[in-house]
Amino acid sequence: MTTTLEHAFAEASKLTELEQDLLASRIMAELADEDDFDRALANTGSRLDHLGRIGLPSESSFCHLL
């Protein structure tokens, strides 16, 4: 555990039980959101690979529109 996190928990330990429970709920929700985001990002890999392979049209392919 980092020093900063230890300090945060030391400060949190001064809160009432209700406040500690609320803080714990917020931390757990934040961690769950991070996990959800990581999974969502991991699932986009094949789509991003495909977009990278097909690429964007070159600037010259738009010249005929002018």
For residue 12, being part of any structural domain is answered with: yes
User: In the prediction, which pLDDT does 26 show?
Assistant: 95
Q: Is there a domain that residue 26 lies in?
A: yes
Q: Is residue 66 part of a domain?
A: no
Instruction: Look at residue 46 and tell me if it is in a domain.
Output: no
- d(CA 51, CA 46) in angstroms, rounded, equals 9
Q: What pTM was estimated for this model as a whole?
A: 0.56
* Total domains, the chain: 1
Q: What confidence tens digit (pLDDT) does each residue in 39-61 have?
A: 777 777 677 777 777 776 665 55
51 occurs within a structural domain: no
Domain carrying residue 12: 1-40
Task: Answer yes or no: is 8 within a domain.
Answer: yes
Q: Does 20 fall in a domain? A: yes
Q: Would you say residue 47 lies in a domain?
A: no
